[in-house]
Amino acid sequence: MPHYIAPSLLASDFSKIGETCKMLDRSSADYYHLDVMDGVFVPNISFGLPVISAMRPFSEKVFDVHLMIVQPERYIEDFKKAGADILTVHYEASTHLHRTIGAIREAGMEAGVALNPHTPVRLLEDVIADVDLVCLMGVNPGFGGQKFIEHTYAKTRQLREMIDRVGGHAKIEIDGGVNLDNAPLLLQAGADVLVAGSFVFSSENPEATISALKSV
Ligand code: DX5
Ligand code: ZN
């Protein structure tokens, strides 16, 4: 199966957001990975609804919105209106995860669930059949540019096994610390979507780096 590349704009130069959109739309990127942080669930604050709405008319790609916020269920409709196609909430931030997954899908988006590095894959057993995407964090969320946690390979394999066993359709997304060294191993372990922030945007030619990740 071909894999998907989702550059994380967190690592991009926000003063050039229009140019970044043009570059990403002509690149072989599949998704825009948009990291929303509230300063409560994670110790950092990034950007939110108005920025996503402003970018929406400039892109035809899939907007993959990763909510690192508490009580994400309060904002499902707002992110739909802002232009999200995939809305991912954290397992650790969602008390009524089953209901939240249903509400995201009812709103017309794909539903994603993200797991922090300390959260075992097995906790998804009872919802996995209803989930469109699982985002396995390869770092502790909150910041770009951190070192990849090696245990993520084992989690990817466990999750692939669980999805195949229940006949689920969820894509496996890896977020944090992804680069050209670990990308082939992650894909071998069963990943479908690779998020890359600093590896793309700190490189000399982000468009070429996206192509390189896509061709792994
Ligand atoms: C981390 C974010 C990531 C981040 C990845 O909290 O969820 O999407 O931007 O950045 P890199 O690829 O630099 O680890
Ligand atoms: Zn993310």
Q: For the whole prediction, is pTM greater than 0.85?
A: yes
The confidence score (pLDDT) of residue 53 equals 98
Kindly report the backbone phi and psi dihedral angles of residue 67, in degrees, each rounded to the nearest multiple of 5, phi listed first. -85, 115
Neighbours of 43 (CB within 10 A): 11
38 CB near ligand 1 (under 6 Å): no
Measured in Å, residue 208 CA sits from the centre of ligand 1 at: 19
Cα(49)–Cα(39) distance, integer angstroms: 15
Cα(7)–Cα(180) distance, integer angstroms: 13
For residue 54, the one-letter residue type is A
Q: Which helix (H) or strand (E) holds 195?
A: strand 193-196
Give the CATH number of the domain where residue 12 resides: 3.20.20.70
Neighbours of 204 (CB within 10 A): 6
The confidence score (pLDDT) of residue 191 equals 99
Q: How many domains does the chain have?
A: 1
| CB within 8 Å of 84: residues ≥ 6 apart | 34, 52, 63, 64, 65, 109
**Using one digit for the tens of pLDDT, what is the confidence trace for 46-58?**
999 999 999 999 9
Contact yes or no for 33/47 (Cβ under 8 A): no
Measured in Å, residue 162 CA sits from the centre of ligand 2 at: 23
173 CB near ligand 1 (under 6 Å): no
**Using one digit for the tens of pLDDT, what is the confidence trace for 192-210?**
999 999 999 999 999 999 9
User: Where does residue 129 rank: exposed (0-12), middle (13-18), buried (19+ CB within 10 A)?
Assistant: middle
For residue 53, the one-letter residue type is S
182 CB near ligand 1 (under 6 Å): no
Name the residue range of residue 96's domain: 4-214
Ligand 1 atom nearest the C-alpha of 141 is: 6
198 CB near ligand 1 (under 6 Å): yes
Q: Which helix (H) or strand (E) holds 53?
A: helix 49-55
Measured in Å, residue 105 CA sits from the centre of ligand 1 at: 25
